[in-house]
């Protein structure tokens, strides 16, 4: 009996990519790609390089998420208004949109390790630059500098994970990377908020910078040889700026990343307006749930199909946004954190492995760059758009709007995989 398609009970690639009977050969759509893969043929995943990649990503994101509860009140402290919070937060992604495609191409020549070291160091510098801000507009170039760093290091990290992971444990490897990042939200936003309130804004920004710098130091220990992108056998070939095969996953992922825009921009204001407590607790609950979900999502996506985790993840994220719109007490607030964490925990390993499945090994860095542009367009670009909406309607309304966006993305993914099944 044929298994149901629309609910994602598909082969491990979500139905869009099929492994051939030959080792390391991949069929993407209808094209046979027999490029030899550098991935190990066995099932061994854990080694020193993989661990260092995870730790680098963890400490980079400690620096990043600690700013969630610091930057919005800092904008107000520097004389800014609510709409300017959206501008400051959104400026982060302006450079990312430009940098990520270039990084996807340059990694092929420069190497994943060098890109990871440089990206985390640049991010650390950006955190320090917040401290002497005389007014709110100083923060825009500081955020843009950080956008460069965060446009470089995560692309390198995801590419390294894809290159190190055994092919049959790809989603599982991505889930470990996601968990390394998610653990940062367990404590970094709360710690950043506490340092800010007890010792001032400078202490919070130095906490962010020091953790990112630690990530850069750890990245120095990663083996360049084991994590590099496979060389092309085609004369004159260079990685594309935009990976066409990654556009569909990126569009689906965009419907999730736009939900992060109001969380990173207006969550502290929502919590204050409604008396919901320390906004860092939302991220703590979300992180716990993300970690639990990823432990399940990776192996499930490898065995039952990418769609089995992507679809419920998008629905969970949408539900979190609708609950935040209505949140009137701490129980609802933290419940939304639970649903949000479950959503990201399911989506992240599914969508990343789904993207890697669709491209040749040599194009992985470009594919990861294309996919991660969804963070710049959705997370940062969404902050620009939602600033005026928050002023015209309310802060709470922005969460409901992005919840609808996540539902649209779910429908688009279902239609996309159904059409592909019919055409293959």
Tens-place pLDDT, residues 52-83:
999 999 999 999 989 988 988 898 888 877 77
User: Is 183 part of any domain?
Assistant: yes
Query: Exposure of 137 by Cβ count < 10 A (0-12 exposed, 13-18 middle, 19+ buried)?
Result: middle
DSSP state, 379?
A: I
Q: Would you say residue 164 lies in a domain?
A: yes
Q: Band of the pLDDT at 239, cuts 50, 70, 90?
A: low
Residue 30 is assigned to a structural domain of this protein: no
Give the single-character DSSP code of 2.
Answer: P
Q: What percent of the chain is modeled with pLDDT above 70?
A: 87
Contact 205, 195 (CB under 8 A): no
Domains identified in the chain, total number: 1
Contact 340, 293 (CB under 8 A): no
Neighbours of 208 (CB within 10 A): 28
Cα–Cα dist 19/202, whole Å: 52
User: What is the rounded CA–CA span in Å between residue 366 and residue 381?
Assistant: 21
Instruction: Give the tens place of pLDDT for each residue, 345-400.
Output: 999 889 988 998 888 877 877 888 888 888 778 877 777 777 777 777 888 888 99
The DSSP symbol for 18 reads E
Please report the sign of the dihedral spanned by the C-alpha atoms of residue 404, residue 410, residue 416, residue 419. negative
- Which residues are 26's β-sheet partners? 19, 33
User: Domain range holding 311?
Assistant: 46-232+241-423
Distance between CA atoms of residues 9 and 4, nearest Å: 6
pLDDT tens digits along 325-347: 988 898 899 999 999 999 999 99
* Mean pLDDT over each residue of the chain, to the nearest integer: 80
Decide if 330 is inside a domain: yes
The shares of helix, strand and coil residues in the chain, as percent rounded to the nearest 5, are 75, 0, 20
Give the pLDDT of residue 22. 31
Exposed/middle/buried for 275, CB within 10 Å: 0-12, 13-18, 19+? exposed
Q: What is the CATH number of the domain that holds 159?
A: 1.20.1250.20
Q: Which of 106-120, 258-272, 315-329 has the highest mean pLDDT?
A: 315-329
Lowest pLDDT segment from 31-45, 158-172, 193-207, 326-340:
31-45
- Report the 10 Å Cβ neighbour count for 423: 8
**CB-based contacts of 14, cutoff 8 Å, min separation 6:** 8, 305, 306, 307, 310, 350, 354, 357, 417
Q: What is the 3-state secondary structure (H, E, C) of 28-74?
A: ECCEEECCCCCCCCCCCCCCHHHHHHHHHHHHHHHHHHCCCCCHHHH
Examine the pLDDT at 97 and tell me if it is beyond 80. Answer: no
Q: Is 337 inside a domain boundary?
A: yes
Residue 18 lies in a domain: no
- Would residue 415 count as lying in a domain? yes
The reported pLDDT for the residue numbered 314 is: 95
Pairwise CA distance, residues 298 & 347, whole Å? 10
Average pLDDT value for residue range 121-150: 91
Q: What is the pLDDT of residue 91?
A: 78
pLDDT at 59: 96
Q: Is residue 3 situated within a structural domain?
A: no
């Amino acid at each position: 009996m044929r298994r149901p398609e629309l609910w994602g009970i598909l082969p491990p690639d979500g139905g869009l990519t099929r492994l051939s009977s030959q080792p390391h050969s991949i069929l993407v759509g209808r094209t046979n790609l027999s490029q030899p893969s550098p991935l190990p043929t066995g099932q061994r995943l854990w080694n020193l390089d993989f661990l260092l990649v995870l730790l680098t990503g963890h400490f980079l994101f400690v620096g990043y998420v600690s700013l969630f509860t610091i930057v919005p009140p800092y904008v107000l402290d520097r004389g800014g208004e609510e709409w300017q919070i959206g501008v400051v937060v959104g400026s982060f992604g302006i450079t990312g949109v430009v940098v990520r495609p270039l990084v996807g191409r340059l990694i092929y020549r420069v190497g994943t390790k060098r890109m990871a070291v440089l990206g985390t160091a640049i991010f650390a510098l950006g955190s320090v630059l917040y401290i002497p801000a005389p007014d709110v507009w100083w923060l825009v170039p500081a955020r843009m500098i950080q956008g460069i760093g965060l446009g470089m290091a995560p692309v390198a990290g995801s590419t390294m994970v894809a290159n190190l992971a055994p092919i049959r444990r790809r989603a599982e490897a991505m889930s470990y990377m996601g968990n390394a990042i998610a653990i940062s939200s367990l404590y970094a936003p709360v710690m950043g908020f506490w340092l800010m309130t007890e010792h001032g804004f400078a202490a919070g920004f130095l906490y962010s910078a020091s953790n990112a710098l630690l990530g850069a130091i750890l990245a120095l220990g990663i083996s360049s040889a084991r994590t590099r992108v496979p060389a092309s056998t085609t004369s004159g070939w260079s990685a594309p700026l935009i990976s066409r095969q990654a556009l569909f996953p990126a569009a689906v992922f965009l419907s999730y990343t736009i939900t992060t825009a109001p969380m990173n921009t207006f969550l502290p204001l929502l919590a204050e307006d409604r008396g919901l407590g320390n906004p860092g607790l939302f991220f703590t609950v979300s992180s716990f749930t993300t970690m639990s979900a990823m432990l399940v999502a990776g192996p499930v996506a490898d065995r039952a199909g990418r769609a089995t985790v992507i679809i419920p993840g998008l629905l969970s994220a949408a539900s979190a946004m609708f609950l935040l719109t209505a949140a009137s007490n701490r129980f609802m607030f933290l419940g939304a954190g639970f649903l949000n964490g479950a959503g990201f925990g399911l989506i992240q390993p599914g969508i990343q492995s789904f993207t890697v499945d669709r491209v040749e090994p040599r194009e992985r860095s470009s594919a990861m760059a294309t996919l991660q542009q969804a963070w710049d367009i959705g997370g940062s670009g969404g902050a620009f758009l939602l600033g005026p909406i928050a002023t015209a309607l309310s802060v709470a309304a922005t969460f409901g709007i992005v919840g609808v966006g996540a539902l649209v993305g779910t429908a688009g993914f279902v239609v996309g995989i159904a059409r592909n099944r019919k055409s293959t």
